[in-house]
């Protein structure tokens, strides 16, 4: 039945594909953010390892401090990257949520459409049964009116 067809079905299918793509992008962004955070934590632990301990000469101490400064700058850059990755992951997750909401809205429309089709079919069936039970189907005139019998 042509009337029972949900005309927005292609749009719903596209929305489902968009939602799946957004979900995959969100998972990838979350993984990248977690990796960046792990690398930042490793860089921060490396800073502590570069500080010279014990009795050392002034040259060794200065070299150790330069290495510690470089390691601290690397750790700060890694932390900034981790923060940016986490923010990006949040934006991608928000896009996924929006895609899921759009899909859910169309799915609700589809369900309403299917319910309306079921109700229309049920009403048509009830009218047919009504006509058969009351005998009106045999007494109808060509114009669809019930004749007056007096």
* CA-derived radius of gyration, the chain: 35
Residue 67 inside a domain? The answer is yes
In a domain, 45, yes or no: yes
Task: Say if residues 44 and 75 touch (Cβ distance below 8 Å).
Answer: yes
The domain containing residue 79 runs over which residues? 9-104
**Residue 114 falls within a domain, yes or no?**
no
Give the CA angle between residues 26, 27, 32 to the nearest 5°: 95
Q: What is the pLDDT of residue 30?
A: 94
**pTM for the structure as a whole:** 0.65
Q: Which pair of tokens denotes residue 7? A: 């005309």
Tally the domains of the chain.
Answer: 1
Give the distance between the most distant pair of CA atoms in the chain.
127
Could you tell me if residue 100 is inside a domain?
A: yes
- Give the whole-angstrom CA distance, residue 107 versus residue 104: 5
Assigned domain for 63 exists: yes
* Grouped pLDDT means (10 residues each) for the chain, 150 residues: 76 94 95 93 84 79 84 90 94 95 94 93 91 69 61
Q: Is residue 148 in some structural domain?
A: no
Q: Considering the domain boundaries, does residue 145 fall inside one?
A: no
In a domain, 113, yes or no: no
């Amino acid at each position: 039945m042509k009337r029972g067809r949900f005309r927005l079905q292609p749009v719903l299918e596209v929305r489902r594909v968009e939602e799946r793509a957004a979900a995959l992008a969100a998972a990838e962004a979350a993984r990248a953010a977690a990796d960046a955070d792990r690398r930042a934590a490793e860089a921060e632990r490396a800073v502590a390892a570069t500080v010279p301990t014990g009795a050392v000469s002034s040259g060794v101490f200065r070299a150790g401090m330069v290495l510690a400064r470089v390691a601290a700058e690397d750790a700060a850059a890694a932390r900034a990257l981790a923060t940016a990755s986490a923010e990006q992951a949040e934006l991608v997750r928000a896009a996924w949520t929006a895609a899921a909401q759009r899909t859910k809205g169309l799915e609700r429309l589809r369900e309403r459409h299917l319910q309306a089709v079921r109700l229309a079919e049920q009403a048509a069936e009830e009218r047919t049964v009504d006509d058969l039970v009351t005998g009106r189907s045999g007494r109808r005139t060509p114009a669809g009116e019930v004749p007056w019998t007096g």
